[in-house]
Structure 1
C-alpha cells in the first residue's frame, strides 16, 4: 500500500489511509493462528504497531469507525443485523 493518496474522493481517501494504518498488522496476522503460524499476538503488540503509524492520538477502533462514517455506513448495535437485512433484501 505504498501508492499516493491523491484519491478520487474523500471516501476512498479515508479507506486508503485506513489501509495504510493497518498495514503493519499484516505480518502479525500472518504469523498468528489466524494466518499461517502459531504465534500469539497480544493487544499490546497490536497497539504498539498502530501507534507507530498513527501516534497516540487515535486508536484502531476510532480509525475504523471514522472510515465507516466517511463511507456513510449506518451505525448499528449488531453488525450482523445489517448483513441480515442486505441478504433479505437481495432475496426479495
Structure 2
C-alpha cells in the first residue's frame, strides 16, 4: 500500500519490523503470563497459550491467502487493521487503569 511489492529496500525493512514486533509481543506476553500465575499452573497455562497461538497462526495463514487472492495486499492490510486496532485500544485501557491504581 505504501511501497511497491518489488522494492528491494522497503519490503525487507517492513518484514524486519514485523518480525521485531512479533518477537517483542511474544516475549513480553510470555513474561507477563509467567509472572502473573502461580508456579504450579505455569507450565500447563504456557502450553495452552502456545497451542492457542499456533492454532490462531495456522488459521490466519490459511485465511490470509484467501483474503490476498480476493482483495490483494490492501485487503490483507484492512483485515489486519480491523484486528489490531481493538487490541491496541484494549491494551491502552489496561495500561491506563494500571497507572491509575499505582497513582492512587
TM-score scaled to structure 1, two decimals?
Answer: 0.30
More helix by share: 2
Structure having the higher Rg: 2
TM-score scaled to structure 2, two decimals?
Answer: 0.28
